[in-house]
Structure 1
Amino acid sequence: MEDDECWVQLEEYRLLLTKTIEPSQITPYLRQCKVLSCDDEEQIFNDPNLVVRRRKVGALLDILQRTGHKGYVAFLESLELDYPRLYHKITGKEPARVFSILVDTVGESGLTQFLMNEVTRLQKGLQEERRRRQEAAAAAATQEDTVRQHQVRERELRKQQERVHRMREEKDRLWEEVRHLKDENYSLMHDVTKLSEEKNSALMSNRDLQLEIEKLKHCLMNAESDSKIRTVKLKNAMEQRPSQDRMLQLQRHNHLLAARIQELEASAQGTAPAPLDQERLSSESLEDYKQHSQAQHQELVNNIYTLRKDLHDAEALRDRYLEANEVLDLKCTTLKKDAKMYRDRMEGILKQMDEVIRERDKAIASREEYHQENCRGLQEKDQYRKQIRELGERCDELQVQLFRTEGEVIALQTRLHRHTCSQHDKSQTSEEDCKDKLTKASSVELQSPTSGEYDVCIASQDHQLCAGEPREENISAERAPSVDEVLGCSKPRLRCNIYYRRKRVLRSKPTWKEHTPCHLDNSSGSDNTDTDGM
């Protein structure tokens, strides 16, 4: 997907590319980058259909497009080497590789001079970079000192914060303990209040029971008085009732009168009729006697009925009084039992209250002892806390002194490090002056026209001369390698290979070329993709 986007962007400049590019000028580099094969090159230059240069460029672009991103990069590098203006117009970047133009325009001597100028410029840049690095190292050392001092102060502040945190925790713990003691005190007061309420309720219950007992006693006395009154009334009624002998006598008299009446009736029926006057007299007398006897009989019958009625009423009243007396006896017995039960219960409640009072006294005494022990424990704990606080403050002071001592040690180490760095800077400055002299001498000798191999030899000789100089042992490991060291050891052989490869590319090009003006200001001293290691 990225390959297609790259070639789509390049497709906008296809007309400009086909108009400007000479295929024979860029094919050697493309073949060297292995994005163009011999068969492809044969097809481009010997195909009868590709006679016009623009068609050849179009076919070359089509072949490179099939290689993807690699062909795109190689094509841009070839434009950077041979068509810098076109490269700048397409990519918007300044070309960084102009060695082929230098070789074409000013020759190998100009290339050598250009390389020496670039080396000199790089050495100056390296010296400036070293100076900036030394300044940055000094600033970093100062910052490190400041950071260490801040770290010491931070440790002190952290220690003080820890101390404040401990004091806050202790305050919170003491506050929690005070709150716990307050809750315990409130609970004890609640228990005392509850016990006093229970005591008051027990006293009220005792008073209510005493009142109930008094009421029951009063009811019992009333019942006894009522029973006595009813008993007396029943006795009086029984005394006023006629006796059994009187009742028998009246019944006997009644029977005699009835027998007399029957005899008189029988005698009256058995005798002969007397004269009318006598009969009338006797009948009147009999009638009077009969009425008189009937009246007496009726009176006796009424008396008997009345007496029987009174007897029946007296018996009913006696039964009712007996039942009421039995009920009252039962109530009296029940009340006596209830009174005895309440009396026993009150005695038990009083005993329990006495036991509760004794237990309360014991609990109060034990609570007082507990409070005394707690007070002694709190006093001892306060003493221990005071000792611990004093020891903690002493420890904090010792740690603060330790931190300050560490800060002083760090400051002394920093001063020693600065002194060592100043000596190192002096030795390094003397070494750089020697190298500058050698570089100037070599640049003077290189003013004559020489080949690339001679440049390599001069660079290797400079490297050997610089390597032979004495080095001080106190140079730090972070020191960057100099330009002479970069040009030493492995680089001469690589540079020879690069120059040989460049000559081979130039020989493979045709005699006629499209000359383009070179811009030496845009060069950075780097070669093609094979020379990026330099």
Structure 2
Amino acid sequence: MAGECFPESPKLGEMGEEALWELINDNRHRISLGVRPGILIPYLRQARVLTEMDEDEILSCHNLTNRSMRTSYMLDLLRTQARNGAVALLESLMIHYPTLYTQVTGCKPSTEPSRFSGLIKYSELTEYLVRAVTGMQKELQEARCEASRKSARCASLELEIREIMDLADKSNCLQSENEHMQRHVCSLQHEVTKLKDEKCDLYMRYTAAIEEKSAVSMRLHDLNLQIYQLQTELQKAITENEFQKRRSLRCADSAEYPQLQEEVRSLRCQLVKAEKLDPARQDILAQDLAEAIGSQVELAVQLRCYREENEQLLREKQALLDQNEGLSLQVQQLTLDCNMHQQKSTVIQNQMKELQAERDQAYLSRDEAQTMIARILAEKDTLRCQLVELQERVFSVQAKRSSRELQRQSCDGELEVDWESLRSNFEEPPVSPPRVSDRRRLCRMDAINPMSMLSSFNSVCADASIRSRDVEPPSPESLRRREKALYADRSLESMENEFLLEDFVFIPCVEGEDEHKPRLSSSDDSSIDGMSRTSVPSFLMRSRQKAIRVSGRVLSISLQGEALLTQLAVVGGNKTGVFVHQVTEGTAAHTVGISPGAQIVEVEYEQNQKALRMVLEDSTLEEAMWALGQVTGLCHLSLRPRQDDYDALLQQLQSRETSSGDSFYVRVNLTLPAGPNWTLALSCNDILHVTNTRPAGTEDSWHASQVHPCQLLDLKSGSVPNYYRAQRLLIRAIEDMSFQTKKSLKVWRMVSPNKQKAVRIVGTRHQGRNPLWVSVENEKTKSVESGGTSAPKSCLTLMPYSLVTPHFPLVCRPVLLLPTILGHILNKKMADWQGFQLCEPEVLSFSEHAAQQQRSEILEECEQERSCCYTLQSVEKVMKKGIHCVLPLGLDCVRRLHRAKIFPIIIFIGQSARSARKLKSKLQRHSQSEEQLLVCSRSEEPLLDKLPCLYHSVAPDSWCDQTSLLTNLRTIIWEEQKKIVWVEPDLW
């Protein structure tokens, strides 16, 4: 191109802005491919057409992934500088890319570019070039210094490589030793496993032998009872035989009567012979006979009297003999029974002694087994620690070796490859042995929990009738069945109850599980329940003054509980549990061994000859102190040792993180004004977080805080009336509203100036337990109620506060508009919004309808056809899409949705005659009238207070037409979606 002729550059200075940029845009592709932005930017910065921020954005923006995109973006930024940008770009091209400048402009590069641009003076350009050359010289010098440092670094790395090779040899030796140790540990593990299997077999055989011995003892006991019964029957037969013999002897005496009759007959014959004598003699004899007859008559009368007396005496004698024989038989029977009972008690005592000896032997064997297991595990843990240390050493050596290899590779790469290949080498993951955290965790394989086996032995040794053939401990149901079997023999009832219930039964404690408030099902409960079912009094009156029965982790302590709160002080609440805090020395509580740190699970006592039991495991501090204050006389406290939880509670109380162990949320059902002493102003449907039910200095107040609607944060704190005082205030408010006096109306207007609801009528039946009350159970009343034919009458109790639990829905909640007439009109409008969909009914067969009806999955049936209904699956199908489901249903679907953990947004649009007229045309299209809308609104508004959740109410004068109403509804739904859902328990 030596012969080519180029136009002079001043022509560019005469070109306008559009012409210059048209020239640049014609060659935009060529400039984007051939220019590096980093080379031109210093000159463009000097010309003041680019700023420092522009430079950072061009070179550092993540969206500009290659050089062409960065150059193109730089041209766009220069375009904003009009003609100065174009001139500066061409001058930079003339300096750094003269060939490209010639290709773009068609002009020969000039040595004085500022002659036509005027952006940079010639002297400034010279200064800029000098600074650029100086900077490049400095960079060259730094590069040479860096090369010398790299060479020294290479020499040092070679020395380190030699050291690493030596360490590699040592690591190989250590690895071989490690493998040897692993093989040794594996052999030890096999031996331990073999010993465990042998021990388990011994336990099984020992358990089977104990069960066989128990079965033999029970069989021997049955045979002894049969022998005693046979002996009793034999003795009774012998006695009856003797009695029959005596009766036969008395019958033999009746054979003397014929002889007497024969004598009387002979005397009569002699009397006939005497009548044949002479008359004188006959007269004498007649006179003698008359005298004899007279005397004989008297004697006959006396004889008859004597005979009658004799017969009476004989009858009395016979009755006395019979009575004597009956009494002798009873005495013999009682003697036999007494002997049998004595022998039976002797047998039982011998069996108990044998069981105690077996139990002691089992304890000794258990201790020996535990000692052996602990020793084996300690040795195994020691070997594991040694193995872990060796592995750590091996891994550290290998990690050092791999890191040094990487450093050596990086140094070689610096000398041979460019920076891009070096970066790729560093990004490749090094091949190194697995880390300690990545290898498989050490665990005991095929191990048997010794505590479960020991607990099974304890339960086997403690139970008097061993019937189970499993090594695992028996369940509470099997223990209750065994108690029933023990109580079956009525003759041993009193003796066995005293022996088994007071000195022998040690039932393991079975703890329940965390929905909402799990209640402990302890061994004491099971024993008491079992006694109540077998006619044994539920409240045992012990013969000794102090008795402690250990049942797993729960202690049942008996003591004299007069003025129990003066004997001990309590702290805690429903969140942490109620703990014994202080025990007065010298009192009954101190004598029986009650110490601070024990949780009071429940208390039992007698009142008016009734056994009462109060469950305090999840009660508040106020209710616990009230329950303990009711105790009079002998009582039983069920305690659970929880020293760590008690110490944590004391630390929180001392640091004033909490004021008590109470923590629960309630919904306020009445409106009260603010009062003195930091008393909060309460509004109906407010949510309170109660943190102390017995604040210092007050007995009828709680310390509570208002809750943030969208987060579990406490806002304003203060005191509120406690449950019982609030209940009285609620009743007084209802009475004032019922009488409608002028004074009460004025007060309620002052309390709720914004037409807010003053009270909310919420009650619970007597059968359903209020979560804010102590559970007081009467064993006798409970048995009568369960066995009676007629249920007791229910009573309604007004609730000033309702216990609520928070829920945090993660998906879009369904929307329910009320009244239903207005909801049917607006549902289709809402379904047209983005993020909303109308719930569609499903057609079900008869079997599907019956099955879903039984599972409570049918929300509502369509009026047109019974087989067509709205189901729970149709709502869930819409919710899975991440949008709001518009429910064309009524209030009955709310509780069904709550059971499925779906919490709809309930919006009630209040109605008046004026607001109904605004919707007249819409109502007529749906064949409805204004009166029907008002009636529907009045009938559904009271039902809202019966819902177990909060709802949003829209005032009738807050909207002017349908468009503004829909706008308000969209805003309300967006706000309600962010709020916490508070749900009450169903107490009905």
- Alignment TM-score, normalising by the size of structure 2: 0.19
Write 1 or 2 for the structure with the bigger share of strand: 2
Write 1 or 2 for the structure with the bigger share of helix: 1
Larger Rg, first or second structure (1 or 2): 1
Which of 1 and 2 has higher RCO (CA within 8 Å, sep 6+)? 1
- Alignment TM-score, normalising by the size of structure 1: 0.30
